[in-house]
Amino acid sequence: MSLIKLLEKYPDKDWNWGYLNLSNNPAVTPKFVEKYIDKGWHWGEGGLSNNPSMTQEFIGKYIDKGWCWGKYGLSSNPIVTSEFIEKYIDKPCADGASAERWNWGKYGLSMNPVVILEIFEKYIDKNWWWGQNGLSSNTGVTPEFIEKYIDKPCAVGASAERWNWGYCGLSSNPAVTPEFVENNLDKPCADGAAAHPFGAASEKQRWDWGHNGLSKNPSITPEFVENHLDKGWHWGRGGLSNNQGITPEFIEKYIDKSCASAKPWNWGNGGLSMNHAVTLEFVEKYMDKGWNWGYEDGLSSNPAVTPEFIEKYIDKGWYWGYCGLSNNPAVTPEFVEKYIDKNWDFGGLSSNLFEHNPIIKKRKRVLERVATLFCKESIKVPEDILKKILVKYI
């Protein structure tokens, strides 16, 4: 059963059709939107404009709707292609307020992982944002791309055209590999200033090793951490405890490890309880630890859990509502129906991807493969082939 079938079976439930819910849910297809075109769809940012299941044909068909072309909208939506951008590149927004539809900067095309390598050099004179929430955070950049433009200074000055190597920038960008970090390990920032806004005044290195830096980066491997144990890793909440690159074996090896502030692994909220890499066998092995079974950033929202695991420990403190099981993609429509009398939040279910649904999983695999072809191998996917892929699986 899919989310759509669950919705149609229980139409009287308090479904949320709008902002950050059904309108933004990739399980919703253009065909479904058209079937219920008079529902309260949100066409702008946080809605259909962000939804990666929308198609360019659908946008063209409903071009007069309230699409958000800028940041948080179509500019950051991976369905757009360089051809689509160029088709509408000189056309003003529908309200005439802007001379240009597209947002090339922060939270816009600068952060869109699908189009960046295709169009960057062709439109290099545009207002690209090099820092946080721009090119520095764009998962579509490659180490080769960074090397090519490495002379851009660190993001500590007033200029927008600066790489952010540190806090919430390249340090936490999964496109950055351990090898790239090693190759640039001891190089100072181009301007000799601090690499991140919260670094000490004497800090001259590029990288932020803390909780919003390399400690958070899922590309970092246990081997890399071990090779640099003397660095300022953040072992707790939001850092290595929640890093999906960390394995249960590594956690056990350093089970008593403390970070600089003498804090051990964080087993609870925002830590290991939320870490997707933690296995259910590991949870059962260390059942006496301080797991957070409940609300937000705990096991209830961890997609590593399964319906079978929830049923096995049904009397634990599961949180069934918003930011808990209702939003957890590990939960299936069948499981929801089986426990329909639980305190589900149908607003949360409205935004649930239900990624364990085989259709959604297949679609996700296809999209990830297409993104890999575009961004990692710099292979141009022919437009006609891409359209067939997206139409078939989206």
Going by pLDDT thresholds of 50, 70 and 90, the confidence category of residue 356 is: low
Question: What does pLDDT average to over the chain?
Answer: 84
**Residue 309 three-state SS:** helix
What DSSP assignment string belongs to 201-231?
TT--BS---STTTTTT-TT--HHHHHHTTTS
Instruction: Tell me if 53 is assigned to some domain.
Output: no
Instruction: Tell me if 269 is assigned to some domain.
Output: yes
Of 387 and 362, which is predicted with more confidence?
362
pLDDT at position 2, please?
87
Cα distance between residue 306 and residue 237, in whole Å: 23
Nearest CA-CA partner of 101 in 75, 128, 133: 75
Domain-ending residue, one of 292, 318, 336: 292
Cα distance between residue 234 and residue 216, in whole Å: 9
The total number of structural domains that make up the chain: 3
CB atoms within 10 A of CB 70: 23
pLDDT digits (tens, 9 = 90+) for 29-82: 999 999 999 999 999 999 999 999 999 999 999 999 999 999 889 999 999 998
Within 13 Å and on the Cβ side, how many CA atoms surround 342? 21
pLDDT at 216 > cutoff 70: yes
pLDDT at position 68, please?
95
Residues 160 and 199 in one domain: yes
> What range defines the domain where residue 134 resides?
130-233
pLDDT at position 92, please?
60
Residues 149 and 199 in one domain: yes
Average pLDDT estimate for 205-213: 88
| Residues near 71 by beta carbon (within 8 Å), at least 6 away in sequence | 45, 103, 105, 106, 107, 108
Report which residue type is found at 243: N
Instruction: Tell me if 90 is assigned to some domain.
Output: no
Instruction: Tell me if 180 is assigned to some domain.
Output: yes
Average pLDDT estimate for 164-189: 90
**Phi, psi at residue 55, to the nearest 5°?**
-115, 160
Report which residue type is found at 333: P
Average pLDDT estimate for 281-285: 97
Instruction: Tell me if 63 is assigned to some domain.
Output: no
pLDDT at 236 > cutoff 70: yes
Give percent of the chain above pLDDT 70.
78
Q: Which residues of 377-392 are buried (b: 16+ CB within 10 A; e: fewer)?
A: eeeeeeeeebeeebee
> CA 168, 170, 26, 373: dihedral to nearest 10 degrees?
180
The pTM of this model reads: 0.80
Nearest CA-CA partner of 82 in 38, 126, 44, 24: 126
Residues 143 and 223 in one domain: yes
Instruction: Tell me if 218 is assigned to some domain.
Output: yes
Residues 185 and 213 in one domain: yes
pLDDT at 134 > cutoff 90: yes
**Residue 363 three-state SS:** helix
Residues 229 and 248 in one domain: no
**Phi, psi at residue 205, to the nearest 5°?**
-85, 160
Nearest CA-CA partner of 383 in 171, 82, 42: 82
Residues 176 and 225 in one domain: yes
Residue 223 burial class via C-beta count within 10 angstroms: exposed 0-12, middle 13-18, buried 19 and up = exposed
pLDDT at position 262, please?
36
Residues 137 and 221 in one domain: yes
What DSSP assignment string belongs to 369-390?
HHHHHHHTS-----HHHHHHHH
Residues 168 and 213 in one domain: yes
> CA 196, 199, 205, 208: dihedral to nearest 10 degrees?
-60
CB atoms within 10 A of CB 237: 21
25 contacts 353 by C-beta, under 8 angstroms: yes
pLDDT at 200 > cutoff 60: no
pLDDT at position 297, please?
87
Domain-ending residue, one of 292, 309, 334: 292
Residues 209 and 182 in one domain: yes
Residues 151 and 220 in one domain: yes
Instruction: Tell me if 79 is assigned to some domain.
Output: no
Domain-ending residue, one of 189, 212, 233: 233
**Element (DSSP H or E) covering residue 284:** helix 280-285
Average pLDDT estimate for 285-305: 93
Cα distance between residue 167 and residue 213, in whole Å: 5
**Residue 120 three-state SS:** coil
Q: Which residue's entry shows tokens 């350093």?
A: 254
Residue 276 burial class via C-beta count within 10 angstroms: exposed 0-12, middle 13-18, buried 19 and up = middle
pLDDT at position 118, please?
79
Which tokens in the block code for residue 251? 């956690």
Residues 210 and 250 in one domain: no
Which tokens in the block code for residue 346? 């149908």
pLDDT at 143 > cutoff 80: yes
Residues 189 and 148 in one domain: yes
Which tokens in the block code for residue 21? 């819910």
CA distances 335 to 5, 33, 314, 353, 356, Å, are: 14, 25, 13, 14, 11
Instruction: Tell me if 121 is assigned to some domain.
Output: no
Give percent of the chain above pLDDT 90.
66
